[in-house]
Structure 1
Amino acid sequence: MPRMHRRSLLRVAAATTAAALIAAPTLAAPASADDEREEWVAAQLDGMTLEEKVGQLFVVQVYGADAHTVTDAQRASNQAAYGVDTPADVVQKYHLGGVIYFAWSGNVTNPRQVAQLSNGLQRTATEDGGPPLIISTDQETGIVARMPAPATQFPGAQALAAGQSTNAAREAAKITARELRAVGINQNFAPVADVNVNAENPVIGVRSFSSDPAMASAYVAAQVAGYQNGQGVAAAAKHFPGHGDTSTDSHYGVPEIDHTRAEWEAIDAPPFQAAVDAGIDVIMTAHIVVDSLDPTGVPATLSEPIITGLLRGELGYDGVVVTDALNMEGVRQGFGPDRVPVLALQAGVDQLLVPKDGDMDVMYQAVLAAVRDGEISEDRLDESVERILELKWKRGITGDEQVDVDRVDRTVGVRAHQAAAQRITDPTVTALRNTGADGAAILPVAPASSVNVVTTNTAAGNDLAAALTAQGATATTQAVGTRPSDAAIAAAVQAAPAHDLTVVVTSNAWDTLTTDPQGRQRRLVAELAATGHPVVAVAVRNAYDVAYLPESAGFLAAYSSTTVSMRSVAKVLTGAISPAGRLPVVVPAADGSVLYPIGHGLTW
């Protein structure tokens, strides 16, 4: 059945209403909001072709900063992935239900540009009466943030938990959502609900609020409320059934979680239950194998016992379920692109996220064929499409999908939001060590001190040096990379006597597999500490670094490399504020024993 244009639908509805009023002796009661939602969803669903219904399931990346005008390179990328030229062409070709923005796809350069892109894509989606798009991104804040400055930057989940305020976490989510909606983004793939109980987790780490399920649950619920309540943005808790205890990155392999069913119930399930109880709109699956939950060995994304049995059945969740990205190896190993979307839908998933470039045609046609052949019933397809349409109505984008580009600068990155970010971040810096080789306290240093910032993260090091200068210090920067060379280490050691303090910005110095397999960050700090001159390490990723660094070096956990975090660190270094953060995770010693428990943190 061809889709009826929205204006035609309105004319029919108006005529029907007029006829009813003429025939009725009294006026009928006004339709409730629920009635209006049900009528809109039913009208959209009834007017869709099978091809249009299947298109609603997909959320894809598109290449370009504008819906219709792209660079030659972006055109080539769209052609390679989808066989068309522009983002608008991709939306039209597949009748898409959603798109997702990434910096590497050229979608995000500045807030006004993002708003214009959103408006152009929404016009394309709705020009023939179709439903508007769900426009998504990953703005977890902290180390995963697609919207750059001037969008307000927060330090991320683990830092927020270190700050010990669920109200602050809720406020951070509320501000983030307000800025996303101002540029036309109506779905945020956050918060992370994984409980990071594995210190060697290569993919979650500081993206998790805590290694304690109760603490993680409280912060997940707070952020769900912040993102969703009155902001017009759907939150998405991830990654179900829990990605917190793995040493394999599902982008590159298939993680296997060995939790028993009882351990899953005690550790992994509580934050997702908290999200469900808080009214979460969306839950994202994980490409992980959990034998205790499904002994067939298929990834959770493709597992009916996990998605339909556990999530929908036992946790009582009836909202939208979205896959993690389908271009990840965790779901591709052992399954072809023609089977992955079909198996995901059979498992109970609704949205199919980010097919690998070149796979979209195969996946789209595979779902069409599965419905036509009866492998997936049209009723099952309608169930997912209806959930997606309900979400679009619920988040207020039906009939109001355009944003006011001229108002973007009055919302995104405004002074009040930036001030809130600094106020929220200042209490998150966590001091774990502060005694030098001579037994004396290292921090704080005098504001006018000379400080050499030796950094594995160039941007964070430059931001920290600038913040120290703003505090009155004389700061220099030496960028050494995450695997410092012998020459870089020697140069830092040689420079140490000329400065009152050397600050080493570390980034996963604990990692013996990928970031620092030869222990070069650890060697850098150790050789600096051996000089006898004051040294403080500042971890801009995981606090686990402290277990591998000498006790004679001070240690601060920032959990984040954002500019706002570096300003807070500079304040702590120079005594403008006292460190107030408390560890939200257990930090194990190198031998696996507890080095620092949850709640540990020094102050002065």
Structure 2
Amino acid sequence: MKTRTRRAVVALSALAVGAAALTTTGSALEPRVQTADGLLREMTLEEKVGQLFVTYAYGRTADTPDPANREEFGVDTPAQVVQEYHLGGIIHFTWSNSLYDPKQVAELSNGLQTAATSSGARVPLLISTDQEQGQVTRITEPATQLPGNMALGAGRSPQDAERAAAITGQELRAMGLNMNFAPSGDVNVNPANPVIGVRSFSSDPALAAQFTAAQVRGYEDAQAAGEGVSASVKHFPGHGDTNTDSHTALPVIEHDRQQWEQLDAPPFKEAIAASTDSVMSAHIVVPKLDDSGQPATLAPKVLTGMLRQELGYQGVVFTDSLQMEGVRQQHPDSEIPVLALQAGADVMLMPQDLQVAIDGVIAAVRDGRLTEQRIDESVSRVLKLKEGRGVLANPFVDVSKVGSIVGNQQHLADAQRITDRTTTLLRNDAALPLKSPGKVFVTGASEQGAKALSDSVRARGPQSSALTTGTKPTQEQIGQAVEQAKAHDVAVVLTSAAWNPDNAGQLDLVRALQATGKPVVAVAVRDPYDAAYVDVPAWIASYSDKPVAMESVAKVLFGETTPAGKLPVPVPEPGRPGTDRYPFGFGLAW
């Protein structure tokens, strides 16, 4: 255990009482109102450096002791983590016990803001999460579930993309969050991309750019009215053409300058034009753009040269998580934040060891590798973001209003309408709409999806049962699915990245179901590339396994709606480069 020197915490009883009142009655709490420039002049070096870090803390309330906090941060509660390190922000995750239900999240967020505004420089926090929707959804029901990026791209409506972001932002803000690490502006031109995929709007840079900007407006226009959040467009300079996951390795992208300008740059340019509050860097190497061999997060030519000087971006630059292997392979954890600041980043997200990272930056200032002026530049950007979005003036939320905002009927209805316009029919050999089936069997990769779709089927009259086989079904599971399918009129099988050789058992499952002689409908609940790997009478791309997406699939199965989605990416023919089974823009209807 490291020895830590704690700063004395200044207890402000008025703030503590106000926070308690806010939690129970929703009354306003008045923090000390300061300008960004005024705060910066008063801050110590340690307080400034703390503003440049965002991490998680463990616990459902700000005052909940958790052994994980003691082990990782040397203190007991989330509030103490904030105060010990003078943090600029906190990021919420389910695994850190931060996201239990909307009211709890709001109370936790208020408690953390009280901790921040009652000690040290008394600067409110940026409180964030990754609520991209679709595949990356940190806050589940009762919060409104909306289509992810690729589904929105299939819907072809930038207005729907903007509305989805506005709903998401309004609900996050009601829960006390003021920043969302979304949207992904990556252009997914590699079907084997293991980390982006459905998180991308499209393989078409113009479509991806249009929708990225629409979501920035959706998040931040509502924020301007005190109802939304700041956006963070990611992952610069573009993570869409890799078959390596930067969480576990360092991807190398071979795009040259012309390819980058044509493919990767447009979404970031449009996001900047839409005034995105922040941009997140990628842990990738692009050797034809930067010959340093450093990941973009640590590369001055990328963050300063390309992003700031060429694209003219003046806002906050976040790193992606510094716990990812893509950024940790070449340097010690104490050096990574120093190199990120030298490259042009402002805020370091989730360092592997927070104390080591902060100490590394302070040591770099004291030995001259970083100037305090450089620290001030980044702190000023962070404080001005907080000032411009009203976080300095009042970071608290009214807990009594959470229930009327999060998952309200208007949001849920809008979410279903938006989702209905994204469902994409790729193949239909006169199999759909279903012709009065008495019993429908739902099986496949997703437990959530199978249960939700089976429920939606039963709501329409037919009997239905569900069996989850997972993404890597065993022969025993396949045999169980076959036996159950024989007792039903139709089999619907959900696939998830079945194109990946590691998941080839899913294709065996589909073929085994076909061999029963029962009609088979396949639904790709992640990316649509699965549809090229096995032929069935009907293929649907839903891009998600969430209940709202499964309800849309049910509407198509029973002919209640005409499938309206159009592929936002081509689906290539396996083993035949340059040949598409289903081209960009394809989508059947009736």
Alignment of 1:292 onto 2:324: no
Instruction: Tell me, yes or no, if structure 1 residue 561 matches structure 2 residue 545.
Output: yes
What is the alpha-carbon distance in structure 2 between the residues aligned to residue 401 and residue 41 of structure 1?
14
What amino acid is aligned across from residue 570 of structure 1 in structure 2? Answer: A
Q: 1:296 to 1:434 in 2, by over 3 A?
A: same
Matched position secondary structure for 2:58? coil
Alpha-carbon distance in 1 for matches of 2:334, 2:407: 43
Counterpart among 39, 43, 48 of residue 48 in structure 1: 43
1:334 aligns with 2:326: no
Q: Which moved more, 1:204-213 or 1:124-133?
A: 124-133
The offset of 1:470, in angstroms, is: 1.1
Aligned to 1:80: 71
1:111-163 deviations in Å (ceiling 9; x for gaps): 00000000000001001451100001000001101111100000201101111
CA distance in 1, matches of 2:474, 2:512: 13
Give 3-state SS (helix, strand or coil) of 2:421's partner: helix
Deviations 1:292-338 (A, max 9, x none): 11111100000000000000011110000000000000000111101
Equivalent pair of 2:33/2:393 in contact (CA under 8 Å): no
Match of 2:278 among 277, 282, 288: 282
User: Does residue 114 of the first structure (1) align with residue 105 of the second (2)?
Assistant: yes
Task: Give how far 1:493 is off.
Answer: 2.2
**Partners of 2:198 and 2:451 in 1: how far apart?**
22
Query: Of the candidates 368, 371, 391, which is equivalent to residue 397 of structure 1?
Result: 391
Q: Does 1:93 align with 2:78?
A: no
Q: Secondary structure at the match of 2:280?
A: strand
Measured in 2, the distance between the counterparts of 1:553 and 1:374 equals 67
Q: Summarize the alignment of residues 381-396 of structure 1 with structure 2, pairs less than 5 Å apart.
A: 381-396=375-390
Residues 276-425 of structure 1: matches in 2 within 5 Å? 276-356=272-352, 359-425=353-419
Q: Name the residue aligned to 1:263.
A: 259
Matches within 5 A, 1:189-228: 189-228=181-220
SS at match of 1:283: strand
Change (3 A) 1:38 1:125: closer
SS at match of 1:236: strand
Kept in 1, the 8 Å contact 2:169–2:222? The answer is no
SS in 2 for 1:108: coil
Could you tell me which amino acid in structure 1 is paired with residue 44 of structure 2?
A: T
Local SS of the residue matching 2:419: helix
Q: TM-score, normalising length from structure 1?
A: 0.90
Which stretch of the first structure deviates more once superposed, 476-485 or 38-47?
Answer: 38-47
Partner AA of 1:88 in structure 2: A
Q: Quote the residue 2:584 is aligned against.
A: 598
8 A contact 1:64–1:105 mirrored in 2: yes
Change (3 A) 1:139 1:447: farther
Show CA shifts across 1:90-120 (max 9, x none). 1011000000000000000000000000000
Output the amino acid matched with 1:449. Answer: G
Identity of aligned residues (%): 53
Q: 1:266 to 1:432 in 2, by over 3 A?
A: same
Kept after mapping to 1: 8 A contact 2:180/2:231:
yes
Paired amino acid for 2:222: G
Does 2:170 correspond to 1:178?
yes
Structure 2 distance, partners of 1:107, 1:6, is: 24
Q: Which amino acid aligns with 1:100?
A: I
C-alpha distance in 2, partners of 1:197/1:158?
Answer: 12
In 2: Cα distance, 1:222 partner to 1:46 partner: 36
Amino acid at match of 1:566: M
Matched, 1:544 2:540: no
CA distance in 2, matches of 1:202, 1:546: 17
1:535 aligns with 2:517: no
> Residues of 1 paired with 2:153 and 2:99: CA distance?
28
Of 425, 433, 443, which residue of structure 1 is paired with 2:427?
A: 433
Task: Provide, for residues 492-514 of structure 1, a one-character-per-residue CA deviation record: whole Å limited to 9, x for no partner.
Answer: 223333322100011110011x4
- What's 1:61 paired with? 56
CA gap of 1:143–1:504, structure 2 versus 1, over 3 A, is same
Give the distance between the partners of 2:312 and 2:388, measured in 1 at CA: 19
Contact 1:237–1:280 (8 Å) recurs in 2: yes
Q: Is the 8 A contact 1:448 1:472 kept in 2?
A: no
Query: What is the CA distance between 1:80 and its match in structure 2?
Result: 1.6
> What is the distance in 2 between the residues matched to 1:141 and 1:165?
16
Matched, 1:510 2:499: yes
In structure 2, the partner of 1:103 is 94
Does residue 524 of structure 1 match 2:524? no
Counterparts of 1:161-176 in structure 2, within 5 Å, are 161-176=153-168
1:345-370 Cα deviation digits (max 9, x unpaired): 000000100112xx111111000001
State yes or no: 1:272 paired with 2:268.
yes
Partner in structure 1 of residue 16 of structure 2: none
* Alpha-carbon contact 1:446-1:575 (below 8 Å) kept: no
Q: TM-score, normalization: structure 2?
A: 0.92
CA displacement 1:169-191 (0-9 Å, x = unmatched): 10000010000000110000000
CA–CA distance in structure 2, aligned partners of residues 449 and 285 of structure 1? 52
Would you say the 8 A contact 1:447–1:575 is kept in 2? Answer: no
Name the aligned partner's letter for residue 486 of structure 1.
Q
2:247 match: secondary structure: coil
1:570 aligns with 2:562: no
User: 2: distance between equivalents of 1:449 and 1:45?
Assistant: 69
Q: Are 2:455 and 1:455 equivalent residues in the alignment?
A: no
SS of the residue aligned with 1:432? strand
Question: How much has 1:230 moved relative to structure 2?
Answer: 2.9
Q: CA deviation at 1:491?
A: 2.3
Structure 1 Cα separation of the partners of residues 110 and 469 of structure 2 = 43
Q: CA deviation at 1:399?
A: 2.5
Task: Name which one, 1 or 2, has greater alpha-carbon Rg.
Answer: 1
Deviations 1:380-411 (A, max 9, x none): 00000000000001111112111111111010
Matched, 1:188 2:188: no
Tell me how far 1:6 sits from its aligned partner. Answer: 13
The amino acid that maps onto 1:90 is V
Q: Structure 1 residues 316, 447: CA separation in 2 closer, same or farther (over 3 Å shift)? A: farther
Local SS of the residue matching 2:184: coil
Letter in 2 for 1:465: S
1:469 corresponding residue in structure 2: 458
RMSD: 1.8
Deviation at 1:530, TM superposition (A): 2.8
From 114, 117, 133, the equivalent of 1:123 is 114
SS at match of 1:531: coil
Task: Name the amino acid aligned to 2:471.
Answer: T
Aligned to 1:499: 488
Give how far 1:528 is off: 1.5
**Letter of the 1:346 counterpart:** Q
Superposition deviation, residue 447 in structure 1 = 5.0
Structure 1: stretches of 5+ with no match in the other structure:
8-36, 436-440
Query: Secondary structure of 1:478's partner?
Result: strand
Give, in angstroms, the shift of residue 38 of structure 1.
Answer: 12
* Cα distance in structure 1, aligned partners of 2:533 and 2:87: 48
Cα distance change on mapping 1:39 and 1:492 into 2, 3 Å = closer
The residue aligned with 1:490 is 479
